[in-house]
Structure 1
Amino acid sequence: MTGDGGIDILMITYDRPEYVRLSLPHLLDTCPADARVWLWHNGTDQPTLEAVEELRHHPRVHRFRQSPVNAGLTEPTNWLWSESTGSYLSKVDDDCLPDPDWLTILRQAHQDVPGFGVIGTWRFPAEDVDRALVAAKLADYPGGHQLFRNHWVQGSGYLLKRETLTQVGPLAGDETFTAWCLRAARLGWLNGWYHPFLPEDHMDDPRSPHTIYRTDADFLARRPLSARRTGVTTVAEWTEQMRHSARVVQAAPLDLREYQGWRLRRRNATRRLRLALTGRAPW
């Protein structure tokens, strides 16, 4: 596919050399000729930096920046969004392996359906799919495309229209990608997961064949930030949190009123109560 401004893709690397040695080559190998990969390395972990340096000069790598501290997600994302020129924008996490054809399929969907805003690959195993919940939010679009509607997708393996970013604007302050997607939805953009689902192997899920979490000791030594925040300490608990996340997104309502005002306050209160009683948040 030609005739557009190409695709700019961000990968943020941090303290996971085993994953980077899989995810970065995979991303570069699955990029079309007009894709540009922007690399942002957080921190000073030498093995991870070495994994990045090995491919820094690959013809698909467009820009590289290193932050001596963990700058998080907002600054790198806005760096890509503000300085890139592509018609489509994306981010792939350094612990993710999207379907090899993801960019071709998602870009064609965007070209055929002008109303698509943020559409993505699906990171949950087949065992987590609730067919009834999925069927309730499936929608058909021109060109034979189908979308599992949701007002947000995960911040990896997605494809975003430049027009959507122009209208919504950059991430604001400590705004999450979920909140940003909700802003886009309120402006009328259609978000969700392409269907049939395009798989994204999320290597931090203990069910992934590439995970580094084989034992509870492995997990405790290198827990993700979200696991530390929610008090998860074992592989089994982390796996259950992955399953619960899948249930949450599949059951998430499409009524935008649920994400503001008193309805949002009620949802947040339920979340805080669950955290206080169990030590774990429901998502």
Structure 2
Amino acid sequence: MSDDGVDILMITYDRPEYVRLSLPHLLATCPPDARVWLWHNGTDQPTLDAVEEFRGHPRVHRFHHNPVNAGLTEPTNWLWRESTGAYLSKVDDDCLPDPTWLDTLRRAHRDVPGFGVIGTWRFPPEDVDDSLVAAKLADYPGGHRLLRNHWVQGSGYLLKRETLDQVGPLRDGETFTAWCLRSARLGWTNGWYHPFLPEDHMDDPRSPHTIYRTDADFLARRPLSARRTGVATVAEWTAQMRHSARVVQAAPLDLREYQGWRLRRRNAARRIRLALTGRAPW
């Protein structure tokens, strides 16, 4: 049975400085019918202590501790399988979404039945290309507007349960981007709410709350995506953030670009860039 509430997952791992900001911020922005599900990965005691401080909060609904890093699929499917809310979300432990995010996104979902996954925007204003945005903006009933895209980032989004019921859970090894593409192929409309609802992504070196002040800071605690792409400095990581912003704004809306020979062509270009530069695009 489903109710009209919102179930929100936060996965915490090895970032006590961020958790002490992100978790109380999330709890403070939750309406009374929101339930926060906490999944803690690993054995880092300062991070676990930061989580434990808030386990008694009235918005905290469930807590699970996994001593190893379970990644994305298992905790996401845990929330999706066991929750009862009509709306589902995840907020990363390094993100601070706009205080109005839940009210705004839920109102949009109620007004537009075809919305699948809609989200907050994690890039700073300097990364916005007005011409790219204008080409993908669309208006909807109730005065709502989206920057259309077939996927959004896996934090600060709101998802209809009807979408999940049709698309199904995350498959083994499937990214949230790939899951969103599956929903788009079934006819659901995805994208970022516009005017943008900002999400402060603290892992972006331009965030006032980032832990990456020097290259030494960054090398000591690089995100997994930075290690995978060979990024080693704050400047390189900032450039990757800017590149990511441009990629999502310029991403085509033709779903044929994400399958068959077109997808193989895009993947080949990625492999060539990795071979030539040692780095893959975001």
Q: Same fold (TM over 0.5)?
A: yes
Distance 1:274 1:247 in 2: 17
In the alignment, structure 2 segments of 5+ residues that lack a partner are: none
Distance 2:223 2:69 in 1: 14
Match of 1:281 in 2: 280
SS at match of 2:197: coil
Match of 1:12 in 2: 11
The letter of the residue matching 1:157 is G
Contact conserved, 2:3 with 2:84, CA < 8 A, in 1? Answer: no
Match of 2:104 in 1: 105
Match of 1:152 in 2: 151
Distance 1:7 1:246 in 2: 28
Distance 2:261 2:276 in 1: 22
Instruction: Supply the RMSD in Å over aligned alpha carbons.
Output: 0.8
Q: Does 1:232 align with 2:231?
A: yes
Distance 1:106 1:218 in 2: 35
SS at match of 1:114: coil
The 5 Å alignment of 1:31-50 reads 31-50=30-49
Distance 1:276 1:32 in 2: 49
Match of 1:220 in 2: 219
Distance 1:150 1:5 in 2: 26
The 5 Å alignment of 1:171-210 reads 171-210=170-209
Match of 2:81 in 1: 82
Distance 2:197 2:277 in 1: 34
Shift of 1:215: 0.1
Shift of 1:237: 0.1
Return closer, same or farther for 1:108/1:4 CA change in 2, 3 Å cut-off: farther
Shift of 1:280: 1.1
Distance 1:69 1:112 in 2: 41
Q: Does 1:131 align with 2:145?
A: no
What per-residue deviation string (whole Å, max 9, x for no partner) do you get for residues 169-197 of structure 1?
Answer: 00000100000000000000000000000
Distance 1:246 1:221 in 2: 25
What per-residue deviation string (whole Å, max 9, x for no partner) do you get for residues 187-218 of structure 1?
Answer: 00000000000000000000000000000000
SS at match of 2:31: coil
SS at match of 2:85: coil
Distance 2:278 2:5 in 1: 45
Distance 2:42 2:84 in 1: 27
Normalized against structure 1, the TM-score is what? 0.99
How many corresponding residue pairs? 281
Distance 2:81 2:19 in 1: 25
Shift of 1:4: 5.1
Match of 2:268 in 1: 269
Shift of 1:279: 1.2
The 5 Å alignment of 1:43-82 reads 43-82=42-81
Normalized against structure 2, the TM-score is what? 0.99
Distance 1:279 1:232 in 2: 9
Distance 1:57 1:80 in 2: 19
Runs of 4+ in structure 1 deviating by more than 6 angstroms, as ranges, are none
The letter of the residue matching 1:33 is P
Distance 2:106 2:241 in 1: 28
The letter of the residue matching 2:178 is A
Shift of 1:45: 0.3
The letter of the residue matching 1:111 is R
The letter of the residue matching 1:275 is L
Distance 1:153 1:61 in 2: 25
Distance 1:192 1:272 in 2: 27
Distance 1:253 1:61 in 2: 39
Distance 1:149 1:4 in 2: 28
Shift of 1:59: 0.5
